[in-house]
Amino acid sequence: MRAKPEKIEERGAAFSERLIAWQKSHGRHDLPWQKNRDAYRVWLSEVMLQQTQVGAVIPYYTRFLERFPTLAELAHAPLESVLELWSGLGYYARARNLHRCAQTLVAESGGVFPRDPREIARLQGIGKSTAAAIAVFSFGIRAAILDGNVKRVLARCFGIDGFPGEAKLENAMWALADSLLPEKNIESYTQGLMDLGSAICTRTKPLCGACPFRASCIACREGSQDRLPTPRPTKTRPERETGFLIVTDEARVLLERRPPTGIWGGLLGLPEGGVAEAREYAARCGARLLEMRMLPPFKHTFTHFHLKMLPLVCVVECTGNVAAEPGLEWVDFDRVETAALPSPVRALLKIARAGESEADLFAPNRRSGKKTAPQAHK
């Protein structure tokens, strides 16, 4: 953390006062989770907002509360139902942790959230910054937050060099965040940091002209907004290839429940493998394999690697109505949009269903309204 001529201690009070005044005049006041300071709703919004933009969160937040209006109802719901509502929001460990945390709170405290940020941070899937935000907005506790947006604001305003994720620098930024806390109006101050980071002090093309700190911000004065905060050291992401089987009787697709942990844990997904595995899955679900064809590779990028999905469409004729084994499930194509599927799998199924040429496997028969079965390869 490179020292600047300005003394941070002397700027602290002015920083918080200016931010609070700006938030009250220009900040956000009508977000759905701002209408009720119930800890369950605050917690839900904070978890959903991790790594996700506000505009994307709002419809998920609304639907989630319609289905699970109380923490107890969330705790008693099956994980599959929780993942189904989370489908498309990404970072599914958040949903699994949310469910486990609700169960813990119901079992240990009757569904009552602790007020102390340190106690909140011990719960599943809740880190130090999220715990502080829950304590601030639910109970008015004076606590500092330090998410990615706040790190960016502080790095630019106070001219802090270095990657904020490095442990030593992150500890220094936590100390700075603590020193800036106001004695009152903690909710407006915390919301102001969030609003400033998401709407004004953006990662690219910040709106410095609308910033309340434009006159005192070191990055703005030095023209180093593009350089601060220092980005994460780049690492080459490895690429993995995996075959995915789209086993279908044209009206439905065979899906497999993934293990509860790991990537896409607990979600429905496509079976993995190639031609040999396709024959095996057809036999396992009591179906006769009619046709197989490859689709173009489909790529998806995770945080730590690129995934090259190699889709194989396998058209089958079913002899029964259900999959033969636990963990396998036939899902109507009409349900694909709402099923607990990872976004890339849902996108891949849309591509497969659209077809590529006259061999449109999923085109309805115009006269009967039924699906038209392709001929098996000779």
- Per the structure block, which two tokens stand in for 7? 């003394």
On whether residue 31 sits in a domain, the answer given is: yes
- Alpha helices by DSSP H, listed for the chain, are 8-26, 39-48, 54-67, 71-76, 79-86, 93-109, 117-120, 128-139, 148-157, 167-179, 186-195, 218-222, 275-284, 343-354
Q: In this structure, is residue 100 part of a structural domain?
A: yes
Q: Are residues 164 and 275 in the same domain?
A: no
Q: Which of 10, 46, 250, 325 is catalytic?
A: 46
Q: How high is the mean pLDDT of the chain?
A: 88
For residue 279, what are the domain limits?
239-354
Q: What is the pLDDT of residues 238-285, one digit of tens each?
A: 999 999 999 999 899 999 999 888 888 889 999 999 999 999 988 888
Point out the domain boundary residue: 222, 249, 275.
222
Tell me: pLDDT of 361 over 80: no
Residue 254: both structure tokens together:
């065979």
Read off the pLDDT of residues 57-107 as tens digits, 9 standing for 90 and up. 999 999 999 999 999 999 999 999 999 999 889 889 999 999 999 999 999
Q: How far is CA 282 from the centre of its chain?
A: 34
Beta bridge partners of 169: none
CATH code where residue 166 lies: 1.10.340.30
pTM, full prediction: 0.80
Domain membership of residue 199 (yes or no) is yes
Same-domain status, 121 and 58: yes
- When pLDDT is cut at 50, 70 and 90, the band that residue 128 belongs to is very high
pLDDT tens, residue by residue, 186-245: 999 999 999 999 999 999 999 999 999 999 999 999 999 999 999 988 888 899 999 999
Q: What CATH number has the domain bearing residue 316?
A: 3.90.79.10
Q: Is residue 112 part of a domain?
A: yes
* Active-site annotation holds for 46: yes
- Calpha distance 126→119 (Å, rounded): 10
Q: Are residues 112 and 164 in the same domain?
A: yes
Q: Which of 165, 188, 222 is the last residue of a domain?
A: 222
